[in-house]
Chains A and B, each alone.
Chain A
Amino acid sequence: MVRIGYYISGAGHIALILWVLFGGAFSSTRDPIEITEVSVISGAEFDALMQGVQSPDAATDVAMPVPPAEDEVAPAPESQPDAPPPPPAEPQVTQTPPPDAAPQAAEALPPVPAEVTDEAPEMAPPPEETAVLAPDVSDRPVPRPAERVAPEAVAAPEPDTQVADTVTEEVVPDEAAETPQEQAESGAPEEATTQIVTEAMQTPSAAPTSSIRPQQRPARPTPAPTPAPTPEAVAETPPEQPSQQAAQEPTPPAPSTADAVNDALRQALTADQTPSAAPSGQSGPPMTSGERDALRVAVQQCWNVGSLSSDALRTTVVVAVSMSEDGHPQGETLRMLSYEGGSAESARQAFESARRAIIRCGANGFNLPRDKYAQWRDIEMTFNPENMRIK
């Protein structure tokens, strides 16, 4: 009997809790407010309406734009003269390399005496012309494979196009234009392939490898039309990265409920998905994953591992660099923090390659958000060549 009382009491409490949670016990319903749209007009407007015609008044309370204050400090020159190099080291005097070992030539063959006769030599009949059948299948001239291997394949740019990181269109000064445009040449990334294509991977050509004809030099084959890099092509190249990243960034859901618990949960989850929170002791908003990826892509475009030894390609180096506020790496701060997977010598090669990448691609300053300078003042880059080894 006692238990029945417990059951009734429990059920009642559960029902009460459910009603509190979902029944809207804490949500107060307010009486709807009647809203009437009204518009307020001034006396002058009323008079104008009444009179029908009135010229508009000139606005006199528009604040004049404040002219931009001139920088008291002259901007730093973009290029600074190089520090005088240290006095050149005296070259080491090495031992004289032994002179070429000149192996004695084998016994010379006696010269063959020339046979001289008075009779005129008989002229050999000219060879009959033979027709050469054209091959049934003649592949188009195979272009030379690109020397550059990059994460993304890039079509060959037009011959007059300058090599640039991104596709840019040629700008020709237009006198008719209202605003003068700075003249610029067209640019496109260098042709690149994603893997090393050996001869063994290429499809063999059915065309004959040698032929006795034609005797005349054949006409130069017209090169296959190469698609001109268009602004649309830019979307396939690294600049697309930030937009992709931006698309991948989580967007906070629109507030759909006023519930305090749901709000708290949403804020907590959003904070968890934020790519980078403010480091302790650092100020400013955190770096987004898109901004970090943009930096990564910018550096990897200049990280050339083509001349690295096999051992260096097995060595991962961690490089530290301090950045100036305008996004330039400070060369004197570049240093190798650690390495893994190789010898000290291979680590030195790998570090030099990484240093060249940072300095080269940072020569014009990395595109980093200035308001987050505190986040990227000091950067540690791990250069891991695992994906770049010969496979």
Chain B
Amino acid sequence: MMKRLLTLLAALLVFAVPASKAVAQSGPLRIEITEGVIEPLPFANPAFVAENAAATELARNLSRVVSEDLIGTGLFREIPSSAFISQITSFNSPVQFSDWRAINAQALISGAVSVGSDGSVFVKFRLYDVFAGQELGDGLQFNGTQAGWRRMAHKVADAVYSRITGEGGYFDSRVVYVAESGPKDDRRKRLAIMDYDGANVQFLTDSNAIVLAPRFSPTGDRILYTSYESGFPRIYVMDVASVGRRALPTLEGDMSFAPRFAPDGNTVVYSLTTGGNTDIYRMDINSGNATRLTSTPSIETAPSFSPDGSRIVFESDRSGTQQLYIMSAQGGEPQRISFGQGRYGTPVWSPRGDLIAFTKQSKGRFHIGVMRTDGAEERLLTASFLDEGPTWAPNGRVIMFTRESQGETGTASLYSVDISGRNLKRIPTEGGASDPAWSPLQR
């Protein structure tokens, strides 16, 4: 009897456990991938097909700029043409995906350029996901003038970047900055504007007066900047197309500086020093009516609006050291968001609204960093003798800033870095350059 009981118990154990297991494991094999790699995505960009003789040079230049744009992000790696197995000789010919897979090209750009009888340029392209063997999005065509060929190349690169990464592009954008020349003790400064990659430089002012901190309007058609033209720092607004300018109304003897547009484009927030005290004001740019937003004996400056225009981040030394604060766009009690060691300054709200870029001075070094809008997850991206003045790319993924080298012969240059801290690189400019401000994407 006892033996039977024990045998029955053993049989129950043997059959009960696998039965429950089989139920849990039914269906397809399931695995979870939680680790991957971060590396540049290899792409192939065969030279764009020139559909007529007049387009030969343009086709070569266009495909070169498209490649440079993509490579410059650090997210893409171009496969050299010497590795190509097949070529694209016609825009409409079928793509031999196996040839591109064999060289591990994960994306393929096929483009063509033609020049019309009136001199207008037509650029069309397609983007392929090589391993999926299908097109990524629809083909696109741009047309413009021969003088604007670089913009067309940037637009193609923006479309490629956007389709692969899911982020907005930033190649068809411009940067206004302060061009510097001369020795440190007699530096000449004037406003200049260029493509984001340093091409097409144009000067907006002469070097008779020191200019500082230019800032684009949300539509990119106007620029705010500070000039010492009158002997005191004063804010001017310039129309980019006509280069016409006018000063914002301030009282005689007051110093106004650090201006920045609100997202509506009609309001300006800035610092005003009067009676030895510096506070933040906002002004309706059309009526000239100003409102005081802070009222403390400390120095409040470098205000920057959130993308929705509801809040302002700024720097203040009210705690004894320079720190970052956020307040309502209408003023009120600010909330401190920086608590790390060192001094924080020049905060700029990301166009996506999720991060705030800043300059940090700590242990004798300067850093460009980013943090969440509540001050959390602070990350320092750079470190050097002097880094300052960050500005965001239109897509909120790249930051440009000023880096000044040490010593009497030190010069200021523009650098950019990805918000991950990768892809730190210098922006080529003729002579010194500082105080960059990135425009929105051009229309």
- Chain A residues in contact with chain B, CB under 8 A? 17, 20, 26, 79, 81-85, 88-94, 96-107, 109, 147-151, 190, 192, 196-202, 204, 209-210, 260-261, 263-265, 267-268, 271-272, 274, 276-281, 286-287, 292, 295-296, 299-312, 320, 331, 345-346, 348-349, 352, 354-357, 359-360, 363, 375-388, 390-391
Contacts and interface: CB of A to CB of B under 8 A. Distances in A.
B282 interface: no
B365 interface: yes
B348 interface: no
15 contacts: A96-B120, A97-B142, A97-B143, A97-B151, A101-B240, A105-B202, A260-B10, A264-B14, A279-B26, A280-B26, A300-B33, A307-B76, A360-B131, A379-B28, A388-B36
Contacts of B7: 260
Contact of B31 (A20, A303, A379): A379
B165 A103 contact: no
Contacts of B152: 97
A289 B265 CA distance: 60
Which of B10, B151, B193, B410 is most buried by chain A, counting CB atoms within 10 A of its CB?
B10
B83 interface: no
Interface string B146-189: 01100110010000000011110000000000000000000000
Interface stretch (B256-264, B288-296, B310-318, B401-409): B401-409
B94 A84 contact: yes
B133 A82 contact: yes
A117 to B, nearest CB: 25
Contacts of A300: 33-37
A199 B37 CA distance: 20
A385 to B, nearest CB: 7
Interface stretch (B15-23, B50-58, B429-437): B15-23
Contact of A196 (B139, B148, B420): B420
B382 A199 contact: yes
Contacts of A363: 101
B298 interface: no
A306 B131 contact: no
B369 A386 contact: no
Contacts of A272: 17-18, 21
Contacts of B145: 99-100
A141 to B, nearest CB: 17
A82 B28 contact: no
A79 B102 CA distance: 11
Given A103-B243, A277-B25, A295-B31, A356 B132 contact: yes
A200 B381 contact: yes
Interface in B23-48: 23, 25-41
A157 to B, nearest CB: 14
B166 A308 contact: yes
Interface of B: 2-3, 6-7, 9-11, 13-14, 16-18, 21-23, 25-41, 74-76, 91-92, 94-98, 101, 104, 106, 120, 124, 126, 129, 131-133, 135-136, 138-145, 147-148, 151-152, 155, 164-167, 190, 193, 200, 202-206, 240-243, 352, 354, 365, 367, 369, 377, 379-385, 397, 405-407, 409-410, 417, 419-422, 424, 443
A308 to B, nearest CB: 7
A83 B133 CA distance: 9
Main secondary structure of the interface of A (DSSP, over half): loop
Nearest to A349: B166
Contact of B139 (A17, A89, A390): A89
A89 B18 contact: no
A204 B35 contact: no
A301 B14 CA distance: 40
A277 B22 contact: yes
Contacts of A151: 35-37
A204 B29 contact: no
Nearest to A262: B10
A101 to B, nearest CB: 5
A189 to B, nearest CB: 10
Contacts of B167: 309-310
A198 B381 contact: yes
Given A276-B25, A304-B41, A359-B132, A200 B382 contact: yes
A92 B138 contact: yes
A86 to B, nearest CB: 8
A272 B424 CA distance: 53
B367 A200 contact: yes
A198 B380 contact: yes
B32 A384 contact: yes
Contact of B365 (A204, A274, A346): A204
A261 B3 CA distance: 10
Nearest to A362: B131
Contact of A26 (B3, B17, B166, B405): B3
A199 to B, nearest CB: 5
A263 B10 contact: yes
B132 A352 contact: yes
A296 B419 CA distance: 29
A348 B241 CA distance: 40
Contacts of A196: 38, 420-422
A106 B203 contact: yes
Which of A102, A264, A384 is most buried by chain B, counting CB atoms within 10 A of its CB?
A264
A378 B29 contact: yes
A309 B26 contact: no
Nearest to A387: B34
Contacts of A388: 35-36, 38
Contact of B40 (A147, A274, A277): A147
B30 A380 contact: yes
Contacts of B29: 287, 292, 375-376, 378-380
A26 B49 CA distance: 91
Contacts of A381: 30-33
Contacts of B407: 210
A196 B380 CA distance: 12
A27 to B, nearest CB: 12
B272 to A, nearest CB: 27
Given A299-B31, A307-B164, 14 more contacts: A97-B144, A97-B155, A99-B147, A106-B203, A196-B38, A264-B9, A264-B10, A272-B21, A304-B41, A352-B136, A360-B106, A377-B28, A383-B33, A384-B32
Contact of B14 (A17, A268, A286): A268
B35 A81 contact: no
A382 B31 contact: yes
B323 to A, nearest CB: 19
Given A279-B22, A359-B132, A304 B10 contact: no
A140 B96 CA distance: 47
Listed from nearest, the 7 A-B pairs whose CB atoms lie closest are A198-B421, A264-B10, A303-B36, A200-B380, A309-B166, A378-B28, A149-B38
Nearest to A269: B17
B36 A357 contact: yes
Contacts of B14: 264, 267-268, 271
Contacts of B96: 82
